[in-house]
């Protein structure tokens, strides 16, 4: 963990999971530009995480990094306390870390892989979100806050022939948003979702289909895949005061799909 100031300030203090590359990196850099002090998690790419942290610090904000494997739920449970220790407070959370599993037909998806997908994409966000809400809730003495869950357009189309278990996990994340948004609206905690469509990131290579953005482009109304900064803009909005009356929403950033 890289230390950051523990003195509370009036700046937003936000935890972004899975921030060393792709959409997570774009979110971190956008939030830094907007004045958020940050805690950024990464799983194994320490040098890339520090590169993101340096880029964010150039905006004049405090940044800490945490190495976390969200398949380990005990480690996930320590993330919010560590973030609060690093920044002194927490007003925002972006549940971005996630995995897809291998691209392929439903009958070919190993159950062990599906179990891992659900552990990282559903159980870990539950653990982290519980801790964040307990810290933020005005009913518990907190100052309120905002949470953004990074879902996927797959959650509503099922992703047949691609990764049905991944789509299922993201549908579960959507319900985490809806349930917590309604349960904690009166406690000063807003919870929303951003659902990217196909985006130019390394996640496709990890799933065994590095050219997926180009292959899917003809089926996207806008004729192209998205870029990470286009997702980051929606997240920044939901964490801002402009979204003060927005909770339980899902912003679909998917080129018309």
Number of Cβ within a 10 Å radius of residue 135 = 21
Distances (CA, A) of 63 to 33, 40, 251: 12, 7, 27
Three-state SS string over 34-45 comes to CCCEEEEEECCC
How far, in Å, CA of 127 to CA of 149, rounded?
13
What would the two tokens of residue 29 be?
Answer: 């850099």
How far, in Å, CA of 65 to CA of 20, rounded?
9
Contact 36, 14 (CB under 8 A): yes
Which residues contact residue 54 at a Cβ distance below 8 angstroms, ignoring those fewer than 6 apart?
A: none
Per the annotation, the verdict on 166 as an active-site residue is yes
Residue in 42, 166, 237, 245 annotated catalytic: 166
How far, in Å, CA of 148 to CA of 12, rounded?
14
Question: What is the DSSP code (8-state) at residue 14?
Answer: E
Which residues contact residue 138 at a Cβ distance below 8 angstroms, ignoring those fewer than 6 apart?
A: 144, 187, 188
Supply the residues annotated as catalytic.
Answer: 166
């Amino acid at each position: 963990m890289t230390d950051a100031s523990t003195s509370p300030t009036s700046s937003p203090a936000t935890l972004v999971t899975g921030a060393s590359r792709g959409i997570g990196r774009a979110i971190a850099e956008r939030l830094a530009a907007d004045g958020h002090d940050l805690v950024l998690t990464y799983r194994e790419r320490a040098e890339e995480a520090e590169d993101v942290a340096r880029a964010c610090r150039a905006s004049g904000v405090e940044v800490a990094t945490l190495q976390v494997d969200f398949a380990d739920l005990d480690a996930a449970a320590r993330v919010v306390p560590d973030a609060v220790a690093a920044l002194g407070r927490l007003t925002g959370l972006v549940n971005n870390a996630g995995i897809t599993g291998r691209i392929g037909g439903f009958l070919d998806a190993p159950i062990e892989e599906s179990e891992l997908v659900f552990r990282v994409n559903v159980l870990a966000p539950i653990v982290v979100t519980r801790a964040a809400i307990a810290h933020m809730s005005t009913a518990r003495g907190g100052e309120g806050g905002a949470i953004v869950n990074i879902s996927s357009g797959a959650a509503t189309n099922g992703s047949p022939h691609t990764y049905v278990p991944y789509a299922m996990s993201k549908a579960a994340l959507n319900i985490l948003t809806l349930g917590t948004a309604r349960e904690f609206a009166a406690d000063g905690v807003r919870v929303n979702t951003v659902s990217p469509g196909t985006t130019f990131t390394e996640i496709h290579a990890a799933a065994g289909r590095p050219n997926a953005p180009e292959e899917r482009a003809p089926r996207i109304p806008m004729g192209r895949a998205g870029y990470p900064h286009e997702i980051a803009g929606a997240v920044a909005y939901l964490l801002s005061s402009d979204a003060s009356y927005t909770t339980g929403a899902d912003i679909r950033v998917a080129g018309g799909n």
